Amino acid sequence: MDAKAQKIAELNDKLRTTFNPLAGKVMVTQGVNDLEQSDRQAIIRLVQMFNDFNSNNDPHGEHDFGQVVHNGQKAFFKIDYYDTSLQWASPDPTDPSLTARVMTIMLAHEY
């Protein structure tokens, strides 16, 4: 993994594992929101604990996508990098001062 990908992965991991608003925004889709609270919380915990990144699901080494399964229900998380106005792509995803990270958690059928 190159230094740029490693830095992006570190920033993505910080958002994914902590949900710290200083690291980025976390959004859930309507499908996740409509789940029973215990199922929604379980999926969120699985996303936070996810660490099975490999060449099949993380070809660029950025830790920006993954799949979790709870009670047979597949869910994905995806992290995108926007400029600070949330209108365009970030000019440099390694620089938190130029990047608004947004992680979306969705059910697989919503992808």
pLDDT classification of 48: cutoffs 50, 70, 90? very high
Count of domains for the chain: 1
Which of 24, 31, 27 has its CA nearest to residue 75?
31
Could you tell me how many residues make up the chain? Answer: 111
As a whole number of angstroms, the distance between CA 42 and CA 76 comes to: 13
The CA distances from residue 50 to 12, 87, 88, in Å, are: 12, 29, 28
Helix (H) or strand (E) holding 73, with range, is: strand 73-82
Which of 85, 111, 88, 89 has its CA nearest to residue 32?
111
As a whole number of angstroms, the distance between CA 101 and CA 109 comes to: 23
Domain limits at 58? 3-110
How confident is the model over 63-85, as pLDDT tens digits? 999 999 999 999 999 999 999 99
pLDDT greater than 70 at residue 90: yes
Which pTM was predicted? 0.94
pLDDT greater than 90 at residue 102: yes
Q: What pLDDT does 97 receive?
A: 97
pLDDT classification of 19: cutoffs 50, 70, 90? very high
What mean pLDDT, rounded, does the chain reach? 97
Q: What pLDDT does 111 receive?
A: 86
Q: What pLDDT does 1 receive?
A: 65
